[in-house]
Copies of this chain bind each other. A is one copy, B any other.
C-alpha cells in the first residue's frame, strides 16, 4: 500500500484507463479506486473470446495492490490461455438524474475500471489468502465457516490482476441542463437509489444453532458502504 500510495497517480496510469467522456469526472488516485472497490459487491469482468467479448458477473476482493476474481468467468478465461487481457468493472448506482430534457438525463454513480493481464494463482497459500479476501470482501465470514479442504482448494480457480492500470469515474449531484432550458416549466432533480441488506434468513436445512455469526447479523439494515468487514484500505 505505502509504495502504491506514494507513486504518482494524479493522472491516468496509461492511455487505456483514461476517462474519455466527461473527463472531469475521472479520478486516478488509488485511494479513490479502492474506496469504490470496497463499496461494490460484484465486478463485471470482460474477456475477449474467439466469439467476441464476453462479460460475466463475478465475486472479487483486493489487497490494495491486486484484484482477486473468483467465479464462472475463470473457466472461460483459462480455456483461452493464461495471461490474457481482461477488464474488471465495478459500478455502484447512487441515483437517477432527471434533467429538464431527456438528453441530459443521467445517473449518479461511482465506477472503477481495471485493465490488465489476469493470472491464475497456483500457489496454495496465496490462493487461500486470496479466497479469504474474496469471501471477507462481502462479509467477514471466512473464519466462522468450515475451513477449506485440499479438495475444495483444488476445485477452485482464482485469478489475480494488478490494480496498476485502474481508474475511477464519479458522477454526483444535480442534472446539468442547457442554459436556455433553465427557466422552462420542466422538473429537474435526483431520485436517490439505496441498496440495503435485510435480516438474515436461516437455511431450511440448518440443524446447528440458528444464530448467525456477528459478521452476518450486523449487516442487517446497512448499505454495502456501511457493511462491517476487513478493509484492506484501512490496514
> Taking A187-B208, A196-B194, A201-B192 as contacts, is the C-beta distance between A55 and B88 under 8 angstroms?
yes
Given contacts A42-B107, A56-B89, is CB(A203)–CB(B174) below 8 Å?
yes
Q: Is the CB of A55 within 8 A of B44?
A: yes
Evaluate whether A187 and B174 lie within 8 angstroms (CB atoms) in the complex, with A103-B148, A192-B201 already known. Answer: no
**Residue pair B148, A102 in contact (C-beta under 8 Å):** yes
Contact yes or no, B196 A85, CB < 8 A: no
Q: Contact between A187 and B205 (Cβ–Cβ < 8 Å)?
A: no
- A139 interface residue, CB < 8 Å from B? yes
B53 to A98, Cβ gap below 8 A?
no
- Contact yes or no, B72 A20, CB < 8 A: yes
Asked whether A148 and B101 contact (CB < 8 A) given A53-B46, A55-B46, A72-B20, the answer is: yes
Interface residues of A (CB under 8 A from B): 15-16, 20-22, 41-42, 44-49, 51-57, 59, 72, 75-76, 85-89, 91, 93, 96, 98-103, 105, 107, 109, 111, 113, 115, 131-132, 135, 138-139, 141-142, 144-148, 152, 155-156, 174-175, 181-213, 216, 219-220
